[in-house]
Amino acid sequence: MKRDPLGLLALPGVGYLALVFLAPLLLLLWSSVRGPEGWTLDGYVRLLGDPYYRGVIAASLQLALITTGGALLLGYPAAFALARARGGWQVVLFALIFLPLTVSIIVKSFGWGIVLRRDGILNWALLNLGLIERPVRMIFTEGALYAGMINVFLPFMVLPIFAVVRMLDPRLPDAAATLGASPWFSFRRVTLPLSLPGVVAGVSLVFSLSVAAYVTPSLLMGDRYMTMSMVMAKAFLNLRDWQLGAAMAAVLLAMALAVVVGAAALQRRLGGR
Amino acid sequence: MNDQHLAVRGASKRFGTASVLDDLSLAVARGEFVSLLGPSGCGKTTLLRCIAGLLRLDAGSIAVAGRDISALPAHRRNVGVVFQNYALFPHLTVAQNIGFGLRAQGVPAAAAAPRIAEALALVRMAEFADRPVTALSGGQQQRVAVARALVVRPTLLLLDEPFSALDRKLRETMQVELKHLLREVGITAIFVTHDQEEALVVSDRIAVMNAGRIEQLADPATLYQRPASLYVLDFVGQSMRLGGTVSAAGLGEVTVETRLGTVRAPGAFAPGSRVVVAVRPEAVTLTETPPGGRNTLAARVSEVSFLGSRTQLHLDLPAGEDRGVVELPRLPPGIGPGSAVPLAFPIADTMVFPAA
């Protein structure tokens, strides 16, 4: 078999990633199974045996699922609106959806804090409208956390779906209609299956980003909602328990990897038909 | 017309300030093939989309088999469409594409299967049933599109430039094949096309469209031999046409002075009128002493095109409203670019139009 010389073009990129990403990753995995007395699974045993840590893993998973689901619910129609919008409207919608990406996550999360504070804008507005009698606690609630997380990760859902939907032939729904398909049937049997590759890409992107979220949960919930990343940071920085932190990192990596690999396999199966 | 199957009455459609359909009416008989022929932007595709229900008319009505369907959405009209480039569902197989409409209309799988098989056989695609449509050639995709539209037994079939995606050779074969197939099914069909040859091949009648109106609706022979306007003359077939002034009129005949000489034609125009006389290329012969009842002119050849079964002479005429194409079954010896030729053509075949 002849080698494609174009493959060599990937070498610098792959080499760079191997140096700065793969090597530290292997080091991390190594330190998760290396104790002072040699090889050990002690880190994993302590992690998975402790109900507190199991709770943290469950909480991270729940946060990632709700964020992904919420972003999908909001992002899917938005991607269609963006793809169908004409001229100036498309520019405006694009700006609305993607401009927030240029603002750092830290700034956005602080922003949510200011909006949701006891003396924040939202409480002030509701009080002045007479809808509530005294300030409602919003910050440090799970609702606030989900709102902030979806806000941060929504563009990562919209972009891949938009990229797929934009390429769909607008005459396909027309063809379906002339064959007697109701709008709902046409959506279920034509538009939805053809847009699934974008959904799969968006879901794996948002899930793997949100399951590892650190900044937004720390700023909007603090210690009340511990995610895996927050535990990891504590293990490395406060407890100096490298073994535990590395084990947590490995579990996190495995979860994100499972979703990404699963999504890729699903996409291949859908694309192969 | 009594067996009027499709009746479009007073159809108007505007996009913003542009009027795309302008008080257009069209009646098509059951089982008839009608082409909507015109350049892009004449409104033919808009009319098709309005009949299919993919667009709503601003004014006017559309009735099929005596039932007004103007207010129905596309999926309740039962009007089939074969789209330009076919719009097959890329994620489905050939059989799934054809079965889509049946499934959408709630036909049980057991009842749908024989109808799908029948449709596959009709377009000779049975052995491709389980192939993905993306693996088909252009001609095969067209057959699937036709089968997909026909299997739900539409009351009317609309075809939007159905041959434009095919190469020339295949296009000619498919035109005849599709016409034959649709005739067998007995369906009423409307073709949209900008290709006059295609319209001549596939239709019983042709509606030549111009700026949102039907300029002339007639059978191909009438359209070619008796075009109602200069627009139709130019859009369907070629011609030799000369601008001139009427010098005498009477007894259903006018005499016109052109740059190449005097021409007589059947018609009624007042002396002094600015007109255009025209003759189809094959009506012209090269003779200095023709039999009676003919016009004779002297012209100069600018270019010769050999087309196989015939040869075209392009005449050297000043730019403007004059245009000259003459066709001969065989090129006489000694004629080439620059030759002076005597032209003769029957007065009865000479057409006269008011100058544009």
- In this complex, the residue of A172, A175, A194 whose CB is nearest that of residue B81 is A175
Distance from the A178 Cα atom to the nearest Cα atom in chain B, whole angstroms: 5
Range of the domain at A204: 37-101+154-271
The answer to whether B160 and A175 are in contact (CB under 8 A) is no
Give A158 to chain B, closest Cα distance, Å. 22
Which A residues 154-183 touch B at CB under 8 Å?
169, 171-172, 174-183
pLDDT of residue B131: 94
Check A174 against B77: CB less than 8 A apart.
no
pLDDT band at A271 (very low <50, low <70, confident <90, very high): low
C-alpha distance from residue A250 to each of A47, A245, B93 (Å): 11, 9, 43
Report the C-alpha gap between B316 and A109 in whole angstroms.
79
Alpha carbon distances (Å) from A150 to A206, B131, B304 = 9, 42, 72
Asked if residue A2 has pLDDT above 70, the reply is no
Give the nearest partner residue to A177 out of B54, B105, B132, using CB atoms: B54
- A174 falls within a domain: yes
State how far the Cα of B199 lies from the Cα of B44, in Å rounded to an integer: 13
**Rounded distance between C-alpha atoms, residue B353 and residue B229, angstroms:** 7
At residue B1, the pLDDT reads 46
Nearest-by-CA chain B residue for A169? B87
Rounded-to-integer distance, Cα B195 and Cα B228, Å: 19
- Is the CB of A176 less than 8 angstroms away from the CB of B91? no
B253-258 and B325-328 beta bridge pairing = unpaired
pLDDT of residue A4 exceeding 80: no
CA distance B81 to B45: 12
Which strand ranges, in their side-by-side order, compose the sheet holding B340-346? B325-328, B311-315, B294-306, B340-346
**Cβ contact, residue pair A174, B105, below 8 Å:** no
pLDDT tens readout for residues A80-122: 999 988 888 889 988 888 888 888 888 888 888 888 888 888 8
Q: Are B53 and B31 within 8 A, CB to CB?
A: no
In a domain, A46, yes or no: yes
Average pLDDT along chain B, 356 residues, taken 10 residues at a time: 82 91 95 94 94 95 94 95 94 96 95 95 93 92 95 95 87 90 94 91 94 94 93 90 91 91 92 93 86 88 89 82 81 86 93 90
Give the Å distances, CA to CA, from B56 to A168, A177, A179, A243, B120: 23, 14, 18, 68, 33
Number of domains within chain A: 1
Q: Are A144 and A112 in contact (CB under 8 A)?
A: yes
CATH code, domain carrying A60: 1.10.3720.10
* Set of chain A residues whose Cβ sits within 8 Å of the Cβ of B150: none
Residue A134 lies in a domain: no
Tell me how far apart the 2 most distant CA atoms of chain B are, in Å.
Answer: 76
CA B62 – CA B73 distance, rounded (Å): 12
Nearest CA in chain A to B145: A175
Paired tokens of A269: 């199966």
Q: How far is CA A124 from CA A111, A112, A120, A145, B143, in A?
A: 15, 14, 6, 20, 66
Q: Given the DSSP bridges, would you call strands B261-266 and B253-258 parallel, antiparallel or unpaired?
A: antiparallel
- The DSSP secondary structure of A107-139, one letter per residue, reads HHHHHHHHHHSTTSHHHHHHHHTTS-SSPPP-T
- On chain A, the residues whose CB falls within 8 A of the CB of B81 are 174-175, 178
Put simply, the answer to whether A174 touches B103 (Cβ < 8 Å) is no
Supply the pLDDT for residue B320.
67
**CA–CA distance, B351 with B228 (Å, rounded to integer):** 10
- Chain-chain contact of B77 with A178 (C-beta, under 8 angstroms): yes
Q: Delineate the domains of chain B, giving CATH numbers in brackets.
A: 4-234 (3.40.50.300), 238-347 (2.40.50.140)
**Nearest residue in chain B measured CA to CA from A196:** B91
- Cβ contact B100–A169 (<8 Å): no
Report residue A272's pLDDT band, with 50, 70 and 90 as the boundaries. Answer: very low
What type of residue is B28? V
Q: Is B68 helix (H, G, I), strand (E, B) or coil?
A: strand
| CA separation for the pair B37, A29 (Å, rounded) | 71
